[in-house]
Amino acid sequence: MNPLISDLLVTRYRQLEEGGMSDHREVVREGSIERLSPILMTALATGVALLPLALARGETGNEIDSSPLPEILRPAAASRSIAILGRG
């Protein structure tokens, strides 16, 4: 899990506990639901940013982009997002 995301989750959990929530399951559920939207937006932005790399195959002037980088980054970004959501 991305350390920044885990720090934000833990900080939100602590805020909810300090705000009066005592049930740990409810704290985790509520905090995770609140952080779901920013995590999904980040994953979506990453995917959209990689589209030009994935679609620029074989065009003149894109020799640096014709590496297998997009094929490596897409599954990595997807699996990272799934892992983050699964732990939330």
Cα separation, 61 vs 38, whole angstroms: 35
More confident residue, 16 or 61: 16
* pLDDT band, residue 70 (cuts 50/70/90): low
Q: Where are the domains of the chain?
A: 3-87
pLDDT for 79: 77
The reply to whether the predicted model has a pTM over 0.75 is: no
Q: What is the mean pLDDT of the chain?
A: 76
Q: How many CB atoms lie within 10 A of CB 9?
A: 20
Alpha-carbon distances of 19 from 13, 14, 43, rounded to whole Å? 10, 8, 29
65 has pLDDT over 70: no
